[in-house]
Amino acid sequence: MSAWWKALRALFWQQKARMDGVVVPDNSRCVQCGICSYNCPIGIDVRRYAWEGRPIRDDYCVTCGQCVARCPRGVLSFEVLARTLESTP
């Protein structure tokens, strides 16, 4: 498989994760620096979610990816999580 095709496929899955996914924190890395919350264009307190180890299931989150990109410790990532009845707000 050519490198070009591989890159395209990777991009497709990344975009899919962005669309279907939620931002998930890895608690073990977070140092509560606040860069995530500071850069959220919506003003979501991403840092608090990271402290509590909760995925950001916030109606206002548009999965813009700013927090994910800017976290200096790689705490945040997009993951596709199964939505169950209990988890929808």
Partner 1 sequence: MRRYVIVGTGVAAVAAAEAIRQHDPRGVIVLVGMEAEGYYSRPGLAYYLTGEIPENMLFPFRDADFRRLQVQVVHDRVEGLDPARQRVRLARRGWLAYDRLLLATGARAVRPPWPGVDLEGVVYLDNLAHTRHVIRLARKAKEAVVVGGGITALELAEGLQARRVRVHYLLRGDRYWRRVLDPVESRLVEQRLTQMGIRLHHHTQIAEILGHKGRVTGVRTQDGRVLRCQLVGIAVGIRPRVELAREAGIATERGILVSPFMETSVPHVYAAGDVAQVFDPRVGQHVLDSLWPLARMQGTAAGANMAGHRVPYHRGTPLNVTRLAHITTAIMGQVGQRDADPDAGLVRGDSEVWRALPDAILAQKNDEVNLIRLMVGRRTLLGAVVMGDQSLVRGLYTLIDRQVDITPIREQLLTPGAPLGDLLAAFWSEVQAHIHDAAAENGSPPLREASE
Is 5 or 88 the residue whose CB approaches partner 1 more closely? 5
Q: Binders of partner 1 among 6-65, rule CB under 8 A?
A: 26-35, 37-38, 47-48, 51
C-alpha to C-alpha distance for 8 and 34, rounded to whole angstroms: 33
Q: Which is nearer to partner 1, 43 or 88 (CB)?
A: 43
| Under 8 Å between Cβ of 46 and 32 | no
* Cβ-based nearer residue to partner 1, 28 or 88: 28
Distance of alpha carbon 36 from alpha carbon 39, whole angstroms:
5
Alpha helices in the chain (DSSP H): 3-20, 35-39, 46-52, 66-70
Token match 């410790």: residue? 73
Question: Taking CB under 8 A as the criterion, which residues in 54-83 touch partner 1?
Answer: 72-75, 77
- Residues in contact with partner 1, counted by CB under 8 A, come to a total of 20
Q: CB-wise, 52 or 86, nearer to partner 1?
A: 52
For residue 78, give the H/E element and its range. strand 76-79
Which residues are at the interface with partner 1 (CB under 8 A)?
26-35, 37-38, 47-48, 51, 72-75, 77
